Amino acid sequence: MVIDLRHHLGRVGERLAREHLERLGYCVVAANYRTRFGELDLIVCDETWLVFVEVKTRRTGALESSLQAVSPEKCRRVRKMAAAWLVEASERPRSRELRFDVVGVTVDRDGRLVRLDHLEAAF
């Protein structure tokens, strides 16, 4: 049950992050893309950027903020996953620039957005 709650919390955060990015004008290229290294949360693009987005979601009162939860090891894994996606995805947008962003989402006990932090070019 704990895993299901954590999975649900993650999906809520990813939905909120996706809506935020779409409001900024990004198009979603892929979501929850599985590679042998793990899962890419979101891949979005605009006319200039192809962005790999790591989403971290926490409830209010968590000991660690959502942005603090992205460790150097996680950054290395996301880069490996992005490289795998670039090789595997033949029908991908051809953007001039690549970027790795982190979106930290904090929600209350009812899953309502309390705070959203978008860190562009996080790593």
Rg, Å, the chain Cα set: 14
Measured over the CA atoms of residue 85, residue 104, residue 107 and residue 65, the dihedral's sign is positive
Q: What pLDDT sits at residue 32?
A: 97
53-96 pLDDT per residue, tens:
999 999 988 777 777 888 999 999 999 999 999 999 988 888 78
Q: How far apart are CA 120 and CA 101, in angstroms?
A: 5
Q: Which pTM was predicted?
A: 0.90
Mean pLDDT, the chain, as a whole number? 92
Domains and CATH numbers, the chain: 2-119 (3.40.1350.10)
pLDDT in tens, 5-29: 778 899 999 999 999 999 999 999 9
- Burial-class residue 123 by CB neighbours within 10 Å (0-12, 13-18, 19+): middle
> What is the distance between the alpha carbons of residues 92 and 50, in angstroms, rounded to a whole number?
9
Cβ atoms of residues 46 and 27 within 8 Å: yes
Residue 52: count of CB within 10 angstroms of its CB: 24
